[in-house]
Structure 1
């Protein structure tokens, strides 16, 4: 579970709705203080139990590098509506949404794409399918295939309990105790509860199935001509750091390890994370494009 540290909107950040041919998506948009983006825009996609708010701490800094930066709720997440149809939440279906969003945001031009955790599995679908030409691609705390370790075990428990016991059980028996033990403020706990119960239960179940069964697609990703970055916290408890490092090697990607961070670098080390993204994006914009 990603837990924002604060919810106050920084200057230059606003809530908006993005209308597309495949539906309306809730988003946070950050612009340079001048209001005039001079560089390629960026699209940030959250993880399974996350939302656009997971990126609040980095949005202003990223935008001040001269870009429009947009973080979204995927369909069925928090403030983006989704249907009661499991097939709508496959990685391929969600990846199609990313394609469409990138084309709307970029107006046909390059867009920097970032996928956090499960969002990495979703965004790679859009990169591999080749329908959108991305300016760069960042896998943040994501992996080459299905999640492993303690988060895999938690996901399997969720699958066994969610159909019969529902979101209320998930909140009271897992998410709320975790937040309380971590010393999360009352304001953030109230937000986490609101966010969880706004999610589509069908979407949560289907996306959990996806994160537990995703195949390894690194070989396909290497066939795409896009500058790629693998970024993760040194204490990541999702995909192990060694697995992400090996993925970066396989992809011939840049690799950044964020000191002191775990599974949510944008929350746990926002300045370091934002600086790494800006360096990578600037380099990608200078890279010759075939």
Structure 2
């Protein structure tokens, strides 16, 4: 099956306008949610998850799932774009992350795939389904596993910078791939934290303040466990290929994983792929282009 990549889909003028809007984004306080956002707690199998909602609950639903070291605030720029297009948008911090730090498996348990998948399924079941689901980075694996278990809950799936290979996911990461086989999960997590805190990606001051502040709350044990999970990613590609819903792979041209790996996954599962001029975080740096492509995906999901 051929890869369907449409980096310049639609008119060049429209795509250029979206790129211009993204370039014009100024630094901001990432802790301030979009106007009209409602903060609330959700009682999940792992505990209380910090959640937000924006838009009319009667509208079609989109659920955006942040990854490890992240939080719902990663979608501050994306949320209002989807709401303005007529969607009810929700997000929550994963168990162990930021304001959901107290949620987890208990003192002697581990943050495993079953925990994260159960939380997502419970969250989806608590509102209208099927929903449009986005999984960012590690959360892309969680979303894939939830789709494999409960496909009726999904209208579409967006994999945003998600690991493109099963098994030892770090082997394809640009800067740590060769060493990832011999480094412990704890050491890899330490390197990830170091890279974020020292601002190796050169993010702006407002963004840096948020990502540094979150580490004051996020459970270090949860990060170690998530990295260990990413060394053993289940292979659900056959399930994704036959899921019967539109799937979008959205990545930056300087993503953590090589392009050929993302394109290989798209080819294998019959997904669309979009590539943006950015790094691992299109939701932060190219939200207008990402929202445009997600809305096209949603339209395909509504007519399937």
* Cα distance change of structure 1 residues 131 and 234 upon mapping to structure 2, 3 Å threshold: closer
Cα distance, 1:197 vs structure 2: 2.2
The correspondence for 2:82, drawn from 62, 66, 83, is 62
Q: Tell whether 2:33 aligns with 1:9.
A: yes
Cα distance, 1:215 vs structure 2: 3.4
Which sections of structure 2, spanning at least 5 residues, go unmatched? Answer: 1-26
The correspondence for 1:220, drawn from 212, 232, 239, is 239
Cα distance, 1:235 vs structure 2: 1.9
Q: What is residue 206 of structure 1 aligned with on the other side?
A: 225
Q: Tell whether 2:254 aligns with 1:235.
A: yes
Any conservation in 2 of the 1:13–1:29 contact (CA below 8 Å)?
yes
What is the 5 A alignment of 1:26-45? Answer: 26-31=50-55, 35=56, 37-38=58-59, 40-45=60-65
> Following the alignment from structure 1 to structure 2, what is the Cα–Cα distance between the partners of residues 160 and 36?
40
1:255-281 deviation line (CA, Å, top 9, x unaligned): 2222x1211110110110111111111
> Following the alignment from structure 1 to structure 2, what is the Cα–Cα distance between the partners of residues 73 and 86?
22
What is the 5 A alignment of 1:116-131? Answer: 116-130=136-150
Any conservation in 2 of the 1:99–1:131 contact (CA below 8 Å)?
no
Cα distance, 1:128 vs structure 2: 0.5
TM-score (norm 1): 0.83
SS of the counterpart of 2:216?
A: helix
1:32-69 deviation line (CA, Å, top 9, x unaligned): xxx4643x201111111211111111000011111111
Q: What is residue 195 of structure 1 aligned with on the other side?
A: 214
Q: What is residue 116 of structure 2 aligned with on the other side?
A: 94
Q: What is residue 114 of structure 1 aligned with on the other side?
A: 134
The correspondence for 2:274, drawn from 252, 256, 267, is 256
Q: Number of aligned residue pairs: give it.
A: 269
> Following the alignment from structure 1 to structure 2, what is the Cα–Cα distance between the partners of residues 43 and 183?
25
1:202-226 deviation line (CA, Å, top 9, x unaligned): 1111001111221332123223222
Q: Tell whether 2:294 aligns with 1:274.
A: no
1:172-206 deviation line (CA, Å, top 9, x unaligned): x4432225x71531x44332222112111211110
User: CA RMSD of the aligned region, Å?
Assistant: 2.7
Q: Tell whether 2:230 aligns with 1:245.
A: no
| Structure having greater relative contact order (Cα 8 Å, sep ≥ 6) | 2
Q: Tell whether 2:191 aligns with 1:177.
A: no
SS of the counterpart of 2:52?
A: strand
* Cα distance change of structure 1 residues 253 and 183 upon mapping to structure 2, 3 Å threshold: closer
SS of the counterpart of 1:105?
A: coil
> Following the alignment from structure 2 to structure 1, what is the Cα–Cα distance between the partners of residues 221 and 299?
39
